[in-house]
């Protein structure tokens, strides 16, 4: 039986640096757990533009469509700011999301106990936090038509259209409910049904999907503005939060900062199931390309490594091994290992990107 395939797109900035540590972890699982992958690598973003004049070559796109999962580092940087919008590095990532039809974006917000003091909220509010926001990723106000800036009388008007079909809501709701079955069986759906017709439709469809096919899931509804407030007031009341593209963009960034560092946060973007196999999937850290620290060995690889842990869980049905990796990271943090972004006011000596990878590999050895 063939090994599962994994396409690595390290990208720009610190992407290659953090991805190097992920590749070491992948090699560990092959050597120590007999869990092997057919790994291929290619270019995306600015590096692809430098090589091919496009942020995503057609051959790379074909590889992504054929792979069991794609792992991406980061794209962009000031070097590419003057490029035409159509060839900016970020367009490569957007093309991947669109052509792979990655409609369900999973953004965990997990606060490791050792880092609870890094949150801007009180420790008792965030310690032990473990929630996931499921954001619809390919429709809504970012894609609806009409859109644009138009002349209207003697002034300009900017128009964006919030648009959802029943089918688009249905499929992302199912993604959230399936995820909840792996967790606590609880979903809170957030929209603005009090002022938006799209919110009314969202609430009706989500409720129908739950009542018809997921009666075991505890479903609640909340207006998105109240949801933002509740995330700051008492975030541990939630487990899985389901929401649309715009609100998900805002709420997931709010939830991200509850944990104290963007360098700790992974994400997964999932498509529809492919026969008996896993859905198309792209995994990436939430952080950007961080050009200010590129090449200095300061980057935190944990978010990218945790993204691989998500791939183990959601694409490769290796939940136990994903937990092993997450617990190894937790052990390293509990022992006091810190990259520069995790250094507190007390100072101390941060470790390098490679040294953090070393520590995680040692913790994985200790897990055996």
Out of 68, 244, 249, 341, pick the active-site residue: 249
Phi-psi region of 351 (alpha: psi -120 to 50; beta: other; left: phi over 0): beta
Q: What is the signed CA dihedral for 303, 309, 311, 317, rounded to 10 degrees? A: -170
3-state secondary structure 352-363: CHHHHHHHHHHH
Closest CA to 236 of 133, 120, 123, 126: 126
Out of 27, 101, 130, 225, pick the active-site residue: 225
**Collapsed DSSP state (helix, strand, coil) of residue 148:** strand
Out of 27, 79, 130, 142, pick the active-site residue: 142
Out of 12, 192, 214, 298, pick the active-site residue: 192
**Collapsed DSSP state (helix, strand, coil) of residue 241:** strand
Q: How far apart are CA 302 and CA 52, in angstroms?
A: 30
**250 neighbors 244 (Cβ within 8 angstroms):** no
Sequential DSSP letters for 14-54: THHHHHHHHHHHHHHHHHHH----EEEEE--THHHHHHHSS
Q: What does the block give as tokens for 255?
A: 């939830």
**103 neighbors 139 (Cβ within 8 angstroms):** yes
Q: Is the dihedral of CA 190, 176, 323, 28 positive or negative?
A: negative
User: Is 142 part of the annotated catalytic residue set?
Assistant: yes
Q: How far apart are CA 46 and CA 35, in angstroms?
A: 32
User: Is 164 part of the annotated catalytic residue set?
Assistant: no
User: Is 27 part of the annotated catalytic residue set?
Assistant: no
User: Is 192 part of the annotated catalytic residue set?
Assistant: yes
User: Is 211 part of the annotated catalytic residue set?
Assistant: no
Out of 170, 239, 253, 358, pick the active-site residue: 253
Q: How far apart are CA 117 and CA 115, in angstroms?
A: 5
Catalytic residues: 142, 192, 225, 249, 253
């Amino acid at each position: 039986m063939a090994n599962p395939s994994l396409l690595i797109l390290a990208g720009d900035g610190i992407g290659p640096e953090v991805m190097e540590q992920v590749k070491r972890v992948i090699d560990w699982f092959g050597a120590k757990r007999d869990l092997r992958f057919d790994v291929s690598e290619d270019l995306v973003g600015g590096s692809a533009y430098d090589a091919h004049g496009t942020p995503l070559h057609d051959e790379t796109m074909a590889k992504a469509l054929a792979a069991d999962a794609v792992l991406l580092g980061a794209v962009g940087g000031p070097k590419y700011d003057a490029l035409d919008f159509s060839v900016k590095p970020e367009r490569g990532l957007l093309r991947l999301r669109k052509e792979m039809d990655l409609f369900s974006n999973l953004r965990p917000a997990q606060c490791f106990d050792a880092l609870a003091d890094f949150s801007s909220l009180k420790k008792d509010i965030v310690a032990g936090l473990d929630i996931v926001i499921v954001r619809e990723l390919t429709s809504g106000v970012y894609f609806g038509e009409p859109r644009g800036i138009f002349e209207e009388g003697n002034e300009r008007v900017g128009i964006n259209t919030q648009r959802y079909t029943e089918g688009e809501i249905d499929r992302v709701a199912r993604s959230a409910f399936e995820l909840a079955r792996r967790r606590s069986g609880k979903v809170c759906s957030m929209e603005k049904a009090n002022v938006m017709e799209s919110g009314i439709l969202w609430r009706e469809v989500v409720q129908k999907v739950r009542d018809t096919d997921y009666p075991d899931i505890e479903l609640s509804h909340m207006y998105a503005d109240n949801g933002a407030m509740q995330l700051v007031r008492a975030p541990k009341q939630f487990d899985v939060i389901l929401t649309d593209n715009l609100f998900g963009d805002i709420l997931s960034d709010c939830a991200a900062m509850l944990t104290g560092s963007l360098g700790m946060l992974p994400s997964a973007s999932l498509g529809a199931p492919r026969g008996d196999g896993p859905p198309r999937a792209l995994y990436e850290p939430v952080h950007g390309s961080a050009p200010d620290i590129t090449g200095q060995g300061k980057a935190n690889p944990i978010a990218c490594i945790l993204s691989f842990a998500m791939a183990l869980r959601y694409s490769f049905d290796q939940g136990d091994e994903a937990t092993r990796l997450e617990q190894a990271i937790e052990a390293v943090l509990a022992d006091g290992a810190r990259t520069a972004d995790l250094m507190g006011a007390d100072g101390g000596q941060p470790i390098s990107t490679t040294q953090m990878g070393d520590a995680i590999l040692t913790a994985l050895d200790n897990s055996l």
